Structure 1
Amino acid sequence: MKTFLNLIFAGILISVNAQSVELNDIRLNGNIPFQININELKSLAKQIDSIKLIPELMDMSIADSIIYIGKTHFEFYKVSQKCELSVVYFDEKITELNIGKLTLSNKTTEKDISEYFKSDCSSTNFIDIYGETEKYITCGIPLTLNGKMTDNRLLFFFLNGKLKRIDLWEPS
């Protein structure tokens, strides 16, 4: 019984101290939400570069196609006409990712992220990304949707100490 109560107490402490990001607080360039209707995306984005069928590499995805704005991309679902942000690359088209009042860009450092998200990003790991030659350093934080914890994570990828890429990752 004592062990059971200790486990419950530890779970409560972890929940209280857990850091997470609410998906609804995420905005690209300050105005494009993580989930958006395709027509709204077309009006808010300066230019959609391409719309491509899901590549074989992403065969676990249930999306119909990928919408690219620079190297940043959304997964597009034809039936609902919704686009969901999947990968953010900072370039001339996408210069920042806003999480509430927090603004991230290619000038954000690994140290900055470790200070913002101490419990999840105080240590980082090396990772290879398929199709890329660079070896990134990464860390991730949990994502919530409408205040409820999800299995998804916001993954930060650093190259030479600077934030290069952010993935909204969900387990397959």
Structure 2
Amino acid sequence: MNKTFLSLLSVCLTISGVFGAEEKNAAEAFERMKSFAGDWEGTAEWTGARTGTYPMKANYYLTGNGSALVENLIAEESPIMTSVYHLDGADLRMTHFCGAQNQPRLKADQVDLSRGLINFAFVDITNLRSPDAPHVHGMEMRWIDPNHINVTFLFQSGNKESRERIDLKRAAKKHD
């Protein structure tokens, strides 16, 4: 009986340690993301079913007393794409407000702070007009250094996939 109890206790402590580490990683990643506040500029490149390269600007700012980071991606002659990043308990989440007028919701499923990587996986979507309608289905964010970040969106439209890689350089840091 004692052996079984100790084994069960060991498993519970291991699991709680893993969840505690995930919560810490999500919180640390979000704290690092808060440093993105300000203006950025760079380029975006489509690969896959869509192709093309074009200039991209971005603006990041905090809202909700620092509880959410708002990202606006701005390309000429295109609707502004807005994403909102926030913590939900132990999870780092993102809602993307797309020019296609749908709202994919994603959750960080991989956070590797040593490599500056956050991978967001699709959770669900609101306002999708049809199952084949184009939408964001995943996203990867990498911070290279305090002045360079890469964001890669995975778009899905039916059985066709495209990736939009956005390379950004800080234009001006937001003043407090």
TM-score, normalization: structure 1?
0.30
Which structure has the bigger radius of gyration? 2
TM-score, normalization: structure 2?
0.30
Higher strand share: 2
